[in-house]
Chains A and B, each alone.
Chain A
Amino acid sequence: MLKIEAIIQPAKLDDVKNALIEAGIDGITILEARGHGRQKGHSEFYRGREYTIDLNPKVKLEMVIHDELKDKAIEAILSTARTGRIGDGKIFVSRIDDAIRIRNDERGESAI
């Protein structure tokens, strides 16, 4: 079991989500997020005062998948979320110890 977390540009959400569903990934959780990497922030002006907004709006997707879907999932995200410019986001992959379905106490691979 793997967890894939992807931080992407909000505008890319629909494309990424559709590509993931097409790749056979059933469960996705989406969070509205704010943050920055190397992109840093941008400036906003309110009544002539400049504010540096260093936390940009992002969308974070989380999914826990079977190992064999890893490459398909990553490929789906890369092919849809990439603009080639700074600020496109990141994908993190980590191993998951267990999964429990709350409804019926099902455990492990079958719970995801």
Chain B
Amino acid sequence: MRRPVARFVLLAFLLAMPLALMAQAPDSAPATQAQIAALQQEVTAARSAGDNAWVLISAALVLLMTAPGLTLFYGGLVRRKNILGTMMQSFAMMGLVTVLWATIGYSLAFGHGNGFIGGFEHVFLRGVGLTPNTDYAATIPEQTFMVYQLMFAIITPALITGAFAERVKFGAMAVFLSLWSLLIYCPMAHMIWGVGGILNVTGGRWPCLDFAGGTVVHITSGVSALVAAIYLGKRSGYPHTSMTPHSMVLSFIGASLLWVGWFGFNAGSALSASPLATSAFINTQFAAAAAALSWTLVEWLQNGKPTALGAISGAVAGLATITQASGYVQPMSSIWIGLAAGTVCCLMVFKVKKYFGYDDSLDAFGVHGMGGTMGALFTGLLASATINPVFGKDAAGNLVATGAIDGNWHQIYNQTVAMGTGWSLAIVGTLTLLWLVDKTMGLRLSTADEQAGLDLSQHGEEGYEFNS
């Protein structure tokens, strides 16, 4: 009974206090100004705290995609004598690319530079501090942005390792992918995401909509994977020797972790804990689900059984395809994109690979290259300014259309230019680097080493010991 009374007294006191303060301070106007400024600072700090928390968590989620996500997914798909070697190829990128990124990679991708590549102003992370860089993300420390982007730079070359699985020398692979990261990934990231990039969505010559890296990550890695698979040649014995995955269970866990990590990849790319992050999150889920369904269904009709590998491959295909569109399209669009992704990537892997006979061992091109390419075009077709008004408003105050569905058919042209740039850079760059590394170090394992397996021949250990 006494509590309501106490509350009333407290309320009256609180209401009276400002009056008392105003009475005491004759120069009340400046005090209010200062209060407003202080409040604004607190609002900014609160917003920054929320955004920073989300982007840091997203960065961790993207790293989770590489290991254990990709290492398990790829590791399960190879033969048992190659599991450690395959996992090491991805894990090595976590070490190599991180050091490269800190020393020069970040600068080459996000420094000012020119339209094609960033400059050297952020070499050794010079000037990359805990205050925001308003060019990229106005509410989070630039170091958060830097480390978030690092995780993308790690997984992109790791994806390529699926193409030359089971037959490449570890040292040569590490040198090739390090060079690849600096000379192909960094320029591509700069062109699309970097300030002044020719494909940058705000101010580029051909503004490309690439929300989370469909072109930057999946086209570059997928197409490079195809080039590498063809350059290196088939595994000895392919396709006559049985090369069934040695543990579908590991692959299953890996693909499921990829799905979870992808929320960080796509929704984190909003770079804020905003409604845009929600859009990207939902689109990610919808496309992955739809693609898992459509791949499974196509395979069921084709071969009579819905396989587990089909379901998880479909999900990954859907995720790769929605990446570019994730922060631009309506939720229902993402279901269509997912259905198309599962169907096309499935036929790509089942039919096209067989027809041409290349040994893209773990289907890095069939899933990521194809998914990324489709995603680039779908984004131009289905982007909606109500989800992300990235082109701002016109003179009349209306949102400027982003995709063809809203009337901006020209965007499909811009997306094609970006896609073509990604393909060209990946083909020319990868071929050159492969040739260089091959001539100096030799890329391919000897037949004896290949038969012994990566684990023993490259690392001197085994994934599964008989007597321990």
Chain A residues within CB distance 8 Å of chain B? 44-53
- Cβ-defined partner of A47 (8 Å) among B242, B305, B310: B310
- In chain B, residues 290-326, which have Cβ atoms closer than 8 Å to a Cβ of chain A? 299, 302-303, 305, 307, 309-310, 313
A49 CB contacts on chain B under 8 angstroms = 239, 354
B313 A47 Cβ-Cβ under 8 A: yes
- Cβ-defined partner of B354 (8 Å) among A45, A48, A51: A48
B350 A48 Cβ-Cβ under 8 A: yes
A–B complex contacts, Cβ < 8 Å, 29 sampled: A44-B244, A45-B303, A45-B305, A45-B307, A46-B244, A46-B245, A46-B307, A46-B309, A47-B309, A47-B310, A47-B313, A47-B349, A47-B350, A47-B363, A48-B299, A48-B302, A48-B303, A48-B346, A48-B349, A48-B350, A48-B351, A48-B354, A49-B239, A49-B354, A50-B303, A51-B242, A52-B242, A53-B242, A53-B244
B305 CB contacts on chain A under 8 angstroms = 45
Task: Tell me the bound Cα distance from A48 to B351 in angstroms.
Answer: 8
Please list the 5 inter-chain residue pairs (A to B) with the smallest Cβ-Cβ separation, ordered nearest first. Answer: A48-B350, A45-B303, A47-B349, A51-B244, A51-B242
How many interface residues does B have (CB within 8 Å)?
18
Contact indicator per residue, chain B 331-360, by CB within 8 Å of chain A (1) or not (0) = 000000000000000100111001000000
Chain A interface secondary structure, helix, strand, loop or mixed?
A: strand
A45 CB contacts on chain B under 8 angstroms = 299, 303, 305, 307
Task: Tell me the bound Cα distance from A51 to B242 in angstroms.
Answer: 7
| A78 nearest CB across to chain B (Å) | 34
Of the candidates A44, A46, A47, A52, the one having the most CB atoms from chain B within 10 angstroms of its own CB is A47
| A41 nearest CB across to chain B (Å) | 11
- In chain B, residues 242-257, which have Cβ atoms closer than 8 Å to a Cβ of chain A? 242, 244-245
| A31 nearest CB across to chain B (Å) | 14
Contact indicator per residue, chain B 258-298, by CB within 8 Å of chain A (1) or not (0) = 00000000000000000000000000000000000000000
- In chain B, residues 109-141, which have Cβ atoms closer than 8 Å to a Cβ of chain A? none
B244 CB contacts on chain A under 8 angstroms = 44, 46, 51, 53
B307 CB contacts on chain A under 8 angstroms = 45-46
| A57 nearest CB across to chain B (Å) | 14
**Chain A, residue nearest B367 (CB):** A47
B363 CB contacts on chain A under 8 angstroms = 47
A44 CB contacts on chain B under 8 angstroms = 244
| B213 nearest CB across to chain A (Å) | 24
B350 CB contacts on chain A under 8 angstroms = 47-48
B299 CB contacts on chain A under 8 angstroms = 45, 48
Task: Tell me the bound Cα distance from A46 to B248 in angstroms.
Answer: 10
Told that A47-B309, A48-B354 touch, could you supply 4 new A-B pairs with CB distance under 8 A?
A45-B305, A47-B313, A47-B349, A48-B350
